[in-house]
Homo-oligomer: A and B are copies of this chain.
């Protein structure tokens, strides 16, 4: 099977111009960098994605950044940061060469922003630092085919934080003239385009920073495609657009009973390998994977073969039946739900997973370990609470009157102040006594001693969603 030589001849053949010859004035205005632009247009490698912010877009995508709750299955609600009220956010699709305009609105209470990996051009200064109520936009040309991540990126320390808190999605750039190889082999389009995004969810900022995930999922819900297997037919040609968002764990994706026909690194049609049982993807790595459903009915199980992770939510099924009523595509975004259905699921939940807050006890009868109070006896003179991943750890402590409570900032990016910094403090919002620590950079500490029994609720002033609680009472 001399397939590689054939691929090469096919690649070597004159192609229709993949990237339209640019209309310079429309695309680039009067850029100061016209020499660079002209150089780049003539290269064998692609031009970058730079165009004038006034260029006429082929696509306008509007997304909305906010904080909120979503049901994720198995009786669990996630309370974090969302895109369009979902986790993951919407699946965006364009074709190589398209001009794309992203309009990003912050409907939340804290600063947000965006990073779009399909854009090979400056984006930070256009769509970073979006204040509550503000909309910002960026225009670029999608010049590299592939499967890319986009995510919230307010700047600095907030880039990793907002990714860990849930704001991400998939953007796909389809190749314009050089198709993926299995389609050429079969002479058809895929029967199923399967957009799959793997991601992790965390119960606390500390656990997020340390990669200690509570759950993993495909497309926003625990065992989503076990509860609702994806129908396919024997012989179907499936193209999977796979993105491992992470934000911390490796994924080695596998399907029981399937060996890949071709895999394309990061989804680039010219970066392919034949065969293989898995693809390995670190956080923000992606693959296009092409395979056929074998000529036998039955279930084909999809999983991350890092099976400790898989057992926490990342299993799904392809259900092959000859008469299956199958969809032509599955999108890599959280489920769309009617408000009534959403409310019902929220009401039935047994656990709320909140990486930085303290869930209400009545909505969280079976809390994650990190949301259970930690009790210190009266023999303990000092209790240390770490600030890590924009969260307090332990979140809830019970101490005897007169115990010294010390906060140590373990977040490391402590330049500046506010949402884009990891500088923290602890300020009482309620309780018998008032307190406020100084602002703490990395590896700085401050203490208070609480003598009055009672319940103290406190926050970090620069990150007011960070919640901590101290209960002072006699413990022995």
Contact of A271 among B211, B273, B310, B443 (CB under 8 A): B273
Contact of A308 among B211, B235, B265 (CB under 8 A): B211
Given contacts A252-B284, A443-B350, contact A121 B163 (CB under 8 A): no
Q: Which residues of B contact A49 (CB under 8 A)?
A: 259, 294
9 residue pairs A–B, Cβ–Cβ below 8 Å: A46-B261, A76-B443, A120-B257, A122-B300, A211-B306, A211-B308, A248-B306, A270-B275, A350-B444
Nearest CB in chain B: distance from A117 CB, A:
4
Contact call A282/B275, Cβ cutoff below 8 A: no
Contact call A305/B278, Cβ cutoff below 8 A: no
**Is A286's CB within 8 Å of the partner chain B?**
yes
Contact call A123/B308, Cβ cutoff below 8 A: no
Nearest CB in chain B: distance from A183 CB, A:
11
Given contacts A209-B308, A271-B273, A412-B223, contact A35 B75 (CB under 8 A): no
Given contacts A48-B294, A160-B310, A274-B45, contact A222 B412 (CB under 8 A): yes
Contact call B125/A299, Cβ cutoff below 8 A: yes
**Is A324's CB within 8 Å of the partner chain B?**
no
Q: Which residues of B contact A161 (CB under 8 A)?
A: 311
| Band of interface residues on A | 35 or more
Q: Which residues of B contact A156 (CB under 8 A)?
A: 226, 315
A11-19, A99-107, A331-339, A455-463: which lies at the interface? A11-19
Nearest CB in chain B: distance from A374 CB, A:
12
**Is A219's CB within 8 Å of the partner chain B?**
no
Taken together, the copies of this chain in the complex come to: 3
Given contacts A33-B296, A411-B311, contact A282 B305 (CB under 8 A): yes
In the bound complex, how far is the Cα of B388 from the Cα of A367, in angstroms?
A: 15
In the bound complex, how far is the Cα of B121 from the Cα of A306, in angstroms?
A: 22
Residue of B at shortest CB range from A282? B252
Given contacts A283-B305, A386-B369, contact A209 B311 (CB under 8 A): yes
Contact of A312 among B45, B209, B296, B306 (CB under 8 A): B209
Could you list 17 further interchain pairs (A-B, Cβ under 8 angstroms) beyond the known A124-B300, A280-B285?
Answer: A1-B46, A4-B11, A33-B234, A33-B295, A36-B234, A48-B295, A74-B441, A124-B256, A159-B310, A209-B308, A209-B312, A210-B212, A270-B274, A271-B274, A282-B306, A369-B384, A375-B380
**Is A169's CB within 8 Å of the partner chain B?**
no
Chain A, residues 452-476, CB within 8 Å of chain B (1/0): the string is 0000000000000000000000011
Contact call A415/B311, Cβ cutoff below 8 A: no
In the bound complex, how far is the Cα of B270 from the Cα of A228, in angstroms?
A: 37
Q: Which residues of B contact A278 (CB under 8 A)?
A: 266, 282-285
**Is A239's CB within 8 Å of the partner chain B?**
no
